[in-house]
Amino acid sequence: MSFYIAGTGSVLPEKVVSNDDLAQFLDTSDEWIFTRTGIRRRHVLTGERLDDLAVAAAEQALSDAGVKGEEVDLILCATMRGDFYTPSLACTVGGAIGSHAPAFDVNAACVGVLYCMEIADSFIAAGKAETVLIVSAEAMSKLVDWTDRASCVLFGDGAGAMVVRKGEGRLSGVLRSDPSFAIHMPNLEGINSPYNQVPQEKLAMVMDGGEVYKFAVNAMGHRIEEACAAAGIAPADVDWYLPHQANVRIIDASLKKYRIPKERVLLNISECGNMSATSVMVLLDQYAKKGTFRRGDKLLFVAFGGGLTSGAVVSVWNRD
């Protein structure tokens, strides 16, 4: 017995920044960004706090699932960095929804939600939880270097959530890490130890886009094959692909050999950019709200990210 997805939610910051807006202060253009990535605009935090977005997304998912905060047995939050190192975002969400369940953040960069789904599956399989709240929230605008046109144009902010409950749904999940500094972000701010001898590095994200691109196409393809094999299906049997929204060219290249019709590959990258862990969560919620999924449909989540991490999860949509 594994889990099924019982409810979803998502919240985006109000401020929308277009590629043309970025071209006001960066040497870039809408044409370059759109043709290289598929991104037109992204949502960016201004006055909002990330934990407020996370709580709002969690409340939506709980309400959608018809679950009360006190019924949640475990809270997981996929994020690279919340508003505070401690309390974790998961604890803050727990406090806001009236839960005293164990709560912790998971940093697997853009694959965070898939890691959380697999942790939820393990807790449920071990009999330690029946209802798990998975939240994702990323403030990418606070992590990137806004003078680095090769990376800052790619990202956006947002939060999402799903409630998963014990039952029939998840068919398989595969996770992997291939340690590399192709995407990295030093975390040394505030260090004033008189004993520290490590020189202060730039604090924003540093990324080797070309290396990440090659890794991504390869990793996404492999994870799709492994997750489908573990689920006993072929890639062509998947009804809906929910890929990490980093770059449409990466998505197209990694799915090319399976000849999946474009309509079955879900996208929101043009409007949201890359929201790291939150991308697949917001994608799920947006298409669930549109009524895209039918009971029995097979959904495949696939992602790659800093670490470098990668993973795929296959789950049957078990709702009307």
List the catalytic residues.
110, 244, 274
* Residue 138 and residue 80 in contact, taking contact as beta carbons nearer than 8 Å: yes
* Residue 266 and residue 292 in contact, taking contact as beta carbons nearer than 8 Å: yes
- Which residue lies nearer to ligand UT7 by CB, 23 or 96? 23
The closest of 64, 174, 76 to 116, measured between CA atoms, is 76
Tokens at 110, concatenated: 């853009």
Of the residues 149, 176, 184, 222, which one makes contact with ligand UT7 according to CB under 6 A: 149
Residue found by looking up tokens 């939150």 in the block: 278
Helix (H) or strand (E) holding 116: helix 112-125
* Residue 157 and residue 77 in contact, taking contact as beta carbons nearer than 8 Å: no
CB of 223 to ligand UT7, least distance (A): 14
Of the residues 246, 277, 288, 299, which one makes contact with ligand UT7 according to CB under 6 A: 246
Residue 220 touches ligand UT7, criterion: CB under 6 A? no
Phi, psi of 181 (to 5 degrees): -100, 20
Q: Point out which span in 57-65, 169-177, 208-216, 257-265 binds ligand UT7 (CB under 6 A).
A: 208-216
Residue 214 touches ligand UT7, criterion: CB under 6 A? no
CA 176 – CA 223 distance, rounded (Å): 9
Number of residues binding to ligand UT7, judged by CB under 6 A: 18
Q: Point out which span in 74-82, 156-164, 205-213, 265-273 binds ligand UT7 (CB under 6 A).
A: 205-213
| Separation in Å, CA 52 to CA 17, 83, 96, 305 | 20, 10, 9, 25
Of the residues 37, 131, 141, 254, which one makes contact with ligand UT7 according to CB under 6 A: 37
Residue 212 touches ligand UT7, criterion: CB under 6 A? yes
Binding site for ligand UT7 (CB under 6 A): 28, 32-33, 36-37, 110, 149-150, 153, 207, 209-210, 212-213, 246-247, 274, 305
